[in-house]
Amino acid sequence: MIETGHNSFVFSQELDSSLLNDLYEGDLEYAEVVFGDFLKYLPDYFGEVEQAFNGKQIDELRKAVHKCKTLMGFVGLSTIQAAYQGVEKKCEKSTDISELETDYMDLRKQTESGKKIITKELGRLKAFNGTKK
Amino acid sequence: MKIKSIIVEDIQVAADFLRKFCEKSGKVDVLGHFLNVEDALAFLNQNVVDLLFLDVEMPGATGFDLLDRISYSPKVILTTSKTEYAFNAFQYNVADYLKKPFTYQRFLESIQKIEVTSDIAAAKVDQDHLFIKVDTKLIKLQNTDILFVESMGDYVKFVTPNKKYVTLNTIKNLEEKLDKATFLKVHRSYLVNLTKIDDLDGNILLIQGNQVPISKGHRDEVLKRLNII
């Protein structure tokens, strides 16, 4: 992570900073809002993934995975987003949900890791935006 | 004049992002945000909008289901994170396709496409007549002479009190070109002149001795426009 001065903010290298720079165009206050919203909605959205997997409902799982995949894009978690996309495609082809158990466990782990990254990044954004107020 | 739109999107963050872009552009008013197709259709049955920002994958019905059931044809920008819908998007004649998350620049390009097509449509609708090509001739039809228009595959049939004319065209294209205050799509194959309706019997409109069916998806809009007291 490289800080380039008091007036600039550089997104964490764990995130797709190129995408985030294009999306937010320097509007870091809005980035703070979206990162906060991500943390607010993620438990419910991943809860839908859990519920569908445990209920062995493959089409519901596909829909819930799709929703999480989309959410990941707004905070630059592109690697995790790609993992979700992979599972979404597997859901389209598979009829046996047990084949997806490893993928589900992996998503769970990656999502938890993503949540930590975003929590940390939100803290940085708050601190940075706070210095400007 | 600003473009009147609604957002149909089940992911709140995506909807908020889009709303922010609309506000920033100063070109688009967002009249509402709906998390599912049913709520959006309930709004669209009571309100006319110029533009739909439409997600595809939502709980229950999909964005394409909404397009099948809506009784008129606003411009549509599909917003989805899945590129596989491009072929369907083409079939539904959507104006543009935005892959989420998209940038403000990409959003503006999309809105410019809408503005261009709306200008063309506006130039065409302010007329009380149209010319249709029948065989080698161009025939002038006054809007007030048209009872209804029926789809016949790649052709349409214009029915007037005295004559029927068959010409190469589509209901979808005519729906955009004809005056929306006078003509209403009542079925995927029929556009009717509202001022010519004599009676309504169940799901059949009677127009000077002709019977025109109303589809389930269009019935509510027809009833609303008939000035029933």
CATH architecture of structural domain B3-123: 3-Layer(aba) Sandwich (3.40)
> Is the pLDDT score of A5 beyond 50?
no
Q: Tell me the pairing of strands B199-201 and B155-159.
A: unpaired
* pLDDT value, residue A133: 67
pTM of the complete model: 0.70
At residue A6 the predicted structure's pLDDT band, cuts being 50, 70 and 90, is very low
Query: What 3-state class would DSSP assign to A97?
Result: helix
Which tops the pLDDT comparison, A110 or B132? A110
Annotated domain spans of chain B: 3-123, 129-225
Q: Tell me the pairing of strands B75-80 and B129-134.
A: unpaired
Chain B, nearest residue to A75 by Cα: B101
Q: Is A82 on the interface with B (CB under 8 A)?
A: no
Asked whether B32 and B69 are in contact (CB, 8 A), the reply is no
Does the beta-carbon distance from A67 to B101 stay under 8 Å?
no
* pLDDT value, residue B128: 79
Candidate from A25, A73, A74 with C-beta closest to B104: A25
> Is the pLDDT score of A2 beyond 90?
no
* pLDDT value, residue B122: 58
* Cα–Cα distance list, B8 to A58, A124, B11, B172 (Å): 24, 33, 9, 22
A99 contact partners, CB below 8 Å, separation of at least 6: A90
Candidate from B13, B82, B104 with C-beta closest to A34: B13
Candidates B16, B81, B84, B98, partner chain A, best to mutate (most A CBs within 10 A): B81
- Rounded Cα distance between B3 and A8, Å, is 36
* pLDDT value, residue B119: 62
Instruction: Return the amino acid letter for B21.
Output: F
* pLDDT value, residue A3: 45
- Write out pLDDT tens, residues B93-103: 788 999 999 99
* pLDDT value, residue B87: 73
CATH architecture of structural domain B129-225: Beta Barrel (2.40)
Chain B, nearest residue to A40 by Cα: B13
Candidate from B12, B101, B104 with C-beta closest to A73: B101
Asked whether A72 and A84 are in contact (CB, 8 A), the reply is yes
On chain B, the residues whose CB falls within 8 A of the CB of A71 are 11, 13
Q: State the DSSP code for A14.
A: T
* pLDDT value, residue B226: 79
Q: How many CB atoms lie within 10 A of CB B23?
A: 12
- Rounded Cα distance between B207 and B198, Å, is 5
* CA-closest candidate to residue B100, choices B35, B17, B36, B24: B17
Annotated domain spans of chain A: 17-126
* pLDDT value, residue B71: 77
> Is the pLDDT score of A32 beyond 90?
yes
Q: What is the ipTM of this complex?
A: 0.90
* pLDDT value, residue A122: 98
Q: Which residues, given as ranges, of chain B have pLDDT below 50? A: 124
